[in-house]
Amino acid sequence: MSQQNPKVWFITGSSTGFGRSLTEAVLKHGDRVVATARKPEQLDSLIHQYPTTAKVVRLDVTKPQDVREAIKAAIDAFGRIDVVVNNAGFASVGAIEEVSDDTVRRQFETNLFGALDVTRAVLPTLRQQRSGHILNISSVGGLVSFGSLGIYCATKFALEGISEALAKEVAPLGIKVTIVEPGAFRTEINGQGLVIADTRLDDYADSTGGILQWLESMDGKQPGDPDKAATAMIQVVESDNPPLRLALGADAVDTIAAKLESVKAELDAWKQVSLDTAFEGSVVSAIGG
């Protein structure tokens, strides 16, 4: 679509980080945006700058009624939704045993169930249109889990599993899905966006103790530029053949490549043990084949 026929974007978590950069980039690109945030007043400047192409809606993705009202507001404002960006989220830090039950549940409610609720609520509109593109903001931690970030990574692993299945389900309907996997970018998630476990157990100091120190030391020094990430995401949406997965940053590319090589090496090393578990004479085919 050109500026004469602009897309309508629905972006969660638009007030800071990737969400803010993407919202501003999309508006500069000439498209329309329904920018959502728990504190919509933080987006007042966008309304003043783009009074006809930006709409700000209050949205807490953990509240289903908020989700449905926000989607309705988007359709009422612009008549359609072309791109959905599930960006709202935060990161908890701590060993699996250290993170509180409440934090675990809040982490899943925001990063996973919030994204899932938005997706399920908007799918009827996209199905009716027979078009649309869903961008789910995952992480390099959606393919590679790190000690002390296990709960956060678990939400992203789950989001990737849902997204991969969803892409297969909706492809015949003209709907596209892309999983975005950023590495270290200069956003608030490594600073004020971190939720640090109150409990710190000495037994985990060697295996996970350095992660928090690394995250804090990287705050404000991450190599990734959120504005350039926004440009990359727009490029994906404009593509006739967008990827299922988009890694962002050299660190993400290198880390994911190393993980894939490790998985392949281990699969090959234990291949015969794996194959020997079948009944004699069974014909084996790929799952879903």
| Residue 138 falls in the annotated catalytic set | yes
| Closest CA relative to residue 13, chosen from 67, 61, 72 | 61
For the residues 192-215, what does the mean pLDDT come to?
Answer: 80
Strand 194-196 relative to strand 54-58, pairing: unpaired
Residue with more model confidence, 183 or 186: 183
**Catalytic option among 15, 21, 92, 138:** 138
> Is 278 within the bounds of a domain?
no
> Is 165 within the bounds of a domain?
yes
The tally of domains found in the chain comes to 1
> Is 1 within the bounds of a domain?
no
| Residue 156 falls in the annotated catalytic set | yes
Core vs surface per residue 84-115: b (16+ CB within 10 A) or e: bbbbbbbbbbbbeebbeeebbebbbbbbbbbb
CATH number at residue 126: 3.40.50.720
| Closest CA relative to residue 70, chosen from 59, 54, 85 | 59
Range of the domain at 166: 8-253
pLDDT at 289 over 60: no
Rounded alpha-carbon distances, angstroms, from residue 128 to 6, 73, 74, 173: 19, 17, 16, 9
> Is 177 within the bounds of a domain?
yes
> Is 275 within the bounds of a domain?
no
> Is 289 within the bounds of a domain?
no
Q: For the segment 135-182, what is each residue's pLDDT rounded down to a tens digit?
A: 999 999 999 999 999 999 999 999 999 999 999 999 999 999 999 999
Q: What is the rounded CA–CA span in Å between residue 65 and residue 97? A: 33
**Catalytic option among 14, 55, 139, 156:** 156
> Is 180 within the bounds of a domain?
yes
Q: For the segment 54-81, what is each residue's pLDDT rounded down to a tens digit?
A: 999 999 999 999 999 999 999 999 999 9
| Residue 92 falls in the annotated catalytic set | no
Report pTM.
Answer: 0.93
